[in-house]
Amino acid sequence: MPLLLLLLMLLIPAAHEATSSALLGINYGRVGNNLPPTTSALQLLAGLGLGRVRLYDADPSTIRAFANTGVELIVGVPDECLAAVSTPSGATSWVRSVIQPALPATKIAILTVGNEVLTGYNSSALSSSLLPAMQCIHDALAQLGLDKQVSVTTAHNLGVLATSYPPSSAYFRKDLLPILCPILDFHARTGSPFLVNAYPYFAYAGDSTGVELEYALLEPGHGGVPDPGSGLHYPNMLVAQVDAVYHAIAAANRAAARTVEVRVSETGWPSAGDANETGATPQNAARYNGNVMRLVSEGKGTPLRPEGALRVYLFALFNENMKPGPSSERNYGLFKPDGTPVYELSYRLPKENATSGTSGGSITGAGGNNGHSDGSQDSGYYSISASANANVGWWAWTVAARVTVLTMMAL
């Protein structure tokens, strides 16, 4: 049996390790009862040219599936675990049992302690545990010599802002400052990023007469919106939302503002929704997510922080049929559970996205066709359709490989 497993591992092609240098990642949510196995998801990721993935929990079998693939993970510490890991002993036990065994085979770069804790339905019960949990997990990693390899943060909803428009006037909710200010100190001290879940879709759906659709969809032809306070010009809403967070950080903690990086841990657009969910269509979803890919592939920063490339995680890989809430919540995926695309993207990542480089390297967009492929696998661009085809081919290839190996073992 060990020889059989070894031969199977040699036969199965590994994903490009170099893709971890890309600036674009994707959220791999699994709130569904009809989703394919992680091995199938890996083939979709390879077909898209994505080497960064965010998980919302720390399921050991899922983490193990990413071992030796080169894919870089953000691993979530679920909200329900916050109390347990907010003590030194609890955090040490969790890191030793869940994270340490997966390293270094699985490339875990970030741990997110909770998701939207400060604005969630259970915020009153969890908020006091957030920073202690972050500190204790970081200390546990440091004790094991892993703190330089794995950083600790949390992901916030844009609801932590009292106002976000114009970006230069943004500031955090005053009731959250006693929690956010020491969290910013933590980021500055440990070098971890400030993560925000930013959705121009919600701004448009909430005020479709006041927010221009092209601005929310990040359309490159839109004239943009000026910020009278800073004099900066914003070509699309996503970079405006990111800069609003930067301004809020500066208003709350000027020392932290000099060093803390803002990254987008979630953004996306639903392909379907309820009758009152304005703009939730496959066409708009394709335009938005394609424009996010185009924006990030340019390797540029925001108007306020042009020197640092914008890092973004798309939401999400699959439609998830068991997510609660309005219909849109179950329709953010690029793919259906059977691995077929929900829609064709308006932009395809250039294959230069997966060129070799160190972690943190930037993407250089390929020239010609504005990112659109002629359908050829070798056209120089990744394709969502090709990704789906690779996923189907994976199963046939794996079965054939297993038959070949078993035949060899029988000889």
Q: Rounded CA gap, 409 and 7, in Å?
A: 10
DSSP-derived 3-state class of residue 187: helix
Q: From the candidates 17, 72, 116, 307, give the one annotated as an active-site residue.
A: 116
Contact 305, 234 (CB under 8 A): no
Q: Rounded CA gap, 292 and 181, in Å?
A: 30
For the record, the structure tokens of 112 come out as 């997110």
For the record, the structure tokens of 392 come out as 């189907």
For the record, the structure tokens of 82 come out as 């916050």
Q: From the candidates 72, 219, 266, 277, give the one annotated as an active-site residue.
A: 266
Give me the helices (H) in 95-228, please: 123-143, 177-190, 200-206, 213-216
Residue 344 is a catalytic residue: no
Dihedrals phi, psi of 162, to nearest 5 degrees:
-75, -35
Q: Rounded CA gap, 219 and 277, in Å?
A: 21
Q: Rounded CA gap, 379 and 375, in Å?
A: 7
Residue 17 is a catalytic residue: no
Contact 150, 141 (CB under 8 A): yes
Q: Residues with Cβ < 8 Å from 187, sequence gap 6 or more?
A: 153, 193, 194, 256, 259, 260
For the record, the structure tokens of 233 come out as 């010009």
Contact 314, 27 (CB under 8 A): yes
User: Any idea which residues carry the catalytic annotation?
Assistant: 116, 266
